[in-house]
Structure 1
Amino acid sequence: LKQRKNQSIREFAQEVAELGRRAGKSESELIARFICGVASKEVYRELRLREPTTLVKARQLAENVAELETG
């Protein structure tokens, strides 16, 4: 699952959560899918470094990094 070109981080996180929960995935599996699917390499790096413990925290961190990235 990959973040689409015009899809916001929030929308992508919601998609990961919905599809993952329907498939019975754990929180850690949802986080891993989210991290591996984000479009920005900088966001990906930060998420891997900080190891968020929930999908909500991962989304918040990703949004913060993306905001800094776009200035």
Structure 2
Amino acid sequence: GALNRRIELADLTIGNVTVETDGVALWFAASTTDQEAKGEETFIPAWDDPLLDPVRATRAWLDVLHQLDVHDGA
């Protein structure tokens, strides 16, 4: 999957993130493991622990961005 390098995570934009009830889907237009540059999706499953749950953390992050009137981009 993607996320082999920190720069891949840093290159994500709001449009590359999809929050679902069972996890978070991240779309990477290109990654070090995507030799044909087709793009790749990585899914991070939800956790039972609310302090470590990527779904809760991502929703909170997106809520803050929307409060700041940031709706696209990084």
Rg larger in structure: 2
Same fold per superposition (TM over 0.5): no
| TM score, norm. by length of structure 2 | 0.35
- Higher percent of residues as helix: 1
